[in-house]
Structure 1
């Protein structure tokens, strides 16, 4: 399938909005044509044979065709440029199209489940011939090819919507295989399990719909950024000699290829302001060019070559490690306070930590006063987003 894509859309990566629209349109058209043909063929033999499982499979293909239309509309909207009302673009429309696809799959699955249950209670005779079997076999082959096509496009686009369509096509192969087995059982053993097979097909459809809905809801609700992207951003910024450390990375996803990020970078407090600003500007431009990422970097000055600062920094590190080794801190600074020092820093607390913010502050102060009775601490609680 990759070979076919190279000839249809050569030298495209799927990362740019125009490329995504082209790939999305190609996937949608392939889905519409394939599912329309399968729907017509299965509905014909289903009505002729009276097999509710075949009719159920035909309606599943009809819903898949509708899903392809929705996907096409989603990619067309997602490719629109930003405007006054949508300054970050329309990229999330691609996720919405996947959500509509999942809802349609669930509705069809529920309808098929109820009709198949009635068929179990009130069974009817069915007719099976070689043409029926041939159509079902060709349907499985066609869906396998479509799934492979979807998977190749989805891999290039890194699209959850197209990946969901690929999974849906594979589930259709299983569902049609169940129908084929049903027909073979009736043909050779004269046992009618049509209604039961219809229920199994409906269950496959419902499972697929629910799974698809979960995948498409995640980016809409706000899922965690890709761990590789987080590592690449931090590694790239830390490679600059002026950068001592990074923290508070936040990534916002406004659709495929539309990511915005902000991060705090630690730089020596003695560094000239213009030099530091030039370094930050350079890193922001390089990240945009290298990762297609719009980044805003914030400078945090770090005190160096100060024995008292270093002593209190090491002391704070030991106290936090004694509370829990998963705790970390940044933006550490020391200011005079009455007869002692005031330690100010941001404390990063893991998700679902065993202690409350108040308990952590209380325990830190207890341990600090045990060795430094004149010092105090101002702790700002911070929580990780990446």
Structure 2
């Protein structure tokens, strides 16, 4: 099995692990938060419930999008299906924005018409469990992102990181409510809604950058240029173009070679450059054009 193929298989396994774990955690938290919210009527706990509902929807989209993105290239999609991951990130942004608006409206209503909370300790217990489950999921996602650089899992992880702050805020709001500060629940709900909205914007912008074929990071481009220029007979490199699509990177570059080289020798130098870059970045699909200097 070739190195790029083996890495592709490992990447696929890790992505499936992360997306399935995300869906599982979201569904468990929905069941717990819904039960306790019906008992307490807490706005901040409602924020947590709606956020978990959005998590489940977004994670389910991720599950199918990642499975589709992992499909090999075909005649209709010669560059593969990797942008499905960015589309999933964009869908997450829309879901998260919707959840933020719902929580914001509910928080304003409760701020204007405060109500006492009941069974707040049950809500606190659920939120502590939510924090533990979220930390476990984030550990899995961190491991997967470090090895796959997945946009979809990265967006999911960003949202779950915001969940940690959200869950801690809910615990504080419920504790303050126990001491008679009823409006604290609504105020925390409003703050959480704004924070969720900020996260949605970040996720959406990252997804749009990929869909618009944004260049790979500067350090990756610099390393590719350095590798190409180190090959014998390469005078210079220009017109480097890069983009990302799921698990694949695409690179195009022009080599300046001595005009005295034969066609066979020029082709051999171009192949050396291609193989050297792929050795460093196995996920890269490299296209080399040769120019006589």
Question: What is the aligned partner in structure 1 of residue 273 from structure 2?
Answer: 283
For 2:89 and 2:137, locate their aligned partners in 1 and report how far apart those are by CA, in whole Å. Answer: 17
For 1:170 and 1:53, locate their aligned partners in 2 and report how far apart those are by CA, in whole Å. Answer: 17
For 2:233 and 2:127, locate their aligned partners in 1 and report how far apart those are by CA, in whole Å. Answer: 65
State yes or no: 1:245 paired with 2:225.
Answer: no
For 1:14 and 1:175, locate their aligned partners in 2 and report how far apart those are by CA, in whole Å. Answer: 40
Among candidates 29, 37, 52, match of residue 38 of structure 1? 29
- Change beyond 3 A, Cα 1:187–1:219: same
- Change beyond 3 A, Cα 1:294–1:179: closer
Which digits, 9 at most, give the CA deviation of each residue in 1:128-176, with x for residues without a partner? 3433222222222222222222122111111122122222112111112
Q: How many residues align?
A: 290
The question of whether the paired residues in 1 share the 8 Å contact of 2:228 and 2:276 is answered with no
For 2:122 and 2:36, locate their aligned partners in 1 and report how far apart those are by CA, in whole Å. Answer: 8
Question: What is the aligned partner in structure 2 of residue 7 from structure 1?
Answer: none
Among candidates 238, 257, 261, match of residue 267 of structure 1? 257
For 2:139 and 2:35, locate their aligned partners in 1 and report how far apart those are by CA, in whole Å. Answer: 27
- Change beyond 3 A, Cα 1:38–1:13: farther
Which digits, 9 at most, give the CA deviation of each residue in 1:31-71, with x for residues without a partner? 12212121111111111112122122111111101111111
State yes or no: 1:214 paired with 2:205.
Answer: yes
Among candidates 49, 60, 67, match of residue 58 of structure 1? 49
What is the CA-CA distance between 1:261 and the residue it aligns to? Answer: 2.3
The question of whether the paired residues in 1 share the 8 Å contact of 2:11 and 2:147 is answered with no
Question: Which runs of no fewer than 5 residues in structure 1 stay unpaired?
Answer: 1-11, 303-386
For 2:154 and 2:217, locate their aligned partners in 1 and report how far apart those are by CA, in whole Å. Answer: 17
Question: Which runs of no fewer than 5 residues in structure 2 stay unpaired?
Answer: none
Question: What is the aligned partner in structure 2 of residue 77 from structure 1?
Answer: 68
The question of whether the paired residues in 1 share the 8 Å contact of 2:43 and 2:107 is answered with yes
Question: What is the aligned partner in structure 2 of residue 126 from structure 1?
Answer: 117
State yes or no: 1:154 paired with 2:145.
Answer: yes
Question: Which piece of structure 1 moves more, 144-153 or 77-86?
Answer: 144-153
The question of whether the paired residues in 2 share the 8 Å contact of 1:139 and 1:176 is answered with yes
What is the CA-CA distance between 1:72 and the residue it aligns to? Answer: 0.5
RMSD between aligned alpha carbons?
A: 2.2
Which digits, 9 at most, give the CA deviation of each residue in 1:288-317, with x for residues without a partner? 454233323222223xxxxxxxxxxxxxxx
- Change beyond 3 A, Cα 1:252–1:171: closer
Q: Which has the higher strand share?
A: 1
State yes or no: 1:173 paired with 2:164.
Answer: yes
For 1:25 and 1:299, locate their aligned partners in 2 and report how far apart those are by CA, in whole Å. Answer: 40
Higher RCO (C-alpha under 8 Å, 6+ residues apart): 2
TM-score with structure 2 length normalisation? 0.91
- Change beyond 3 A, Cα 1:111–1:264: same
Helix, strand or coil for the counterpart of 2:233? coil
Q: Which has the higher helix share?
A: 2
Question: What is the aligned partner in structure 1 of residue 187 from structure 2?
Answer: 196
Larger radius of gyration: 1
